[in-house]
Amino acid sequence: MPYPESLVAPMRAEMTQMGATELRTVADVDAAVGGTAGTTLVFVNSVCGCAAGNARPAMQMALQHGVRPDRTVTVFAGQDLDAVARARSYFGEYQPSSPSIALLRDGEVVHFVHRHQIEGRSPQTIAADLTKAFDTHCSHSVGA
């Protein structure tokens, strides 16, 4: 059962304020993720304080990096059910968990951060994992 929108609104805002585009419908997801060339970072947001409370600040830190994906989008697990299911359909063998983070290049997952890789880790550690993936898979350098 979805949480009250008043509860999740600040968590949605935290993502959009760092530059992520929120995808709330299947059509939104297909347009932003389906068959998109280049690199796309997909953050599966969650109300879970155990893990998402570190994942969102990690995303914010990572997105300050000099090399980063062409676009960053987010869906909200447990809230926008159809959009989340559609986003996960692009993740191939990677199993659903939330929060989680997928980096896609030309529509294929090239790096995935599962919930179990977020739990108990600091935002700095999670961000370091992400920026290493950006360096490996993303050619877009800020200001280039």
Partner 1 sequence: MTGHVFHPGHHDLHGITVVLETEGSLWVGRFDSVTPKGVLLHDAGCYEDGVTEGTREDYLQKTLKYGVRATARNVVIPETAVKGIRQLAG
Residues involved in catalysis: 48, 50
- In the complex with partner 1, the residue whose CB is nearer, 116 or 132, is 116
How far apart are CB 17 and partner 1 at their closest, in Å?
11
- Give the residue, chosen from 26, 38, 110, 117, that forms a contact with partner 1 under the rule CB under 8 A: 117
Which residues does 129 contact at the CB level (< 8 Å), separation at least 6? 113, 117
Does residue 106 contact residue 35 with C-beta atoms inside 8 Å? no
129 counts as binding partner 1 under rule CB under 8 A? no
Count CA within 13 A, CB hemisphere, residue 73: 24
Closer CB to partner 1, 54 or 74, in the complex: 54
Q: Which amino acid is at 119?
A: E
Positive/negative CA dihedral, 125, 131, 136, 138 = positive
Among 112, 127, 133, 138, binds partner 1 (CB under 8 A): 112
Residues that bind partner 1 (CB under 8 A): 10-11, 14, 47-51, 53-54, 56-57, 93-97, 100, 112, 114-117, 119-120
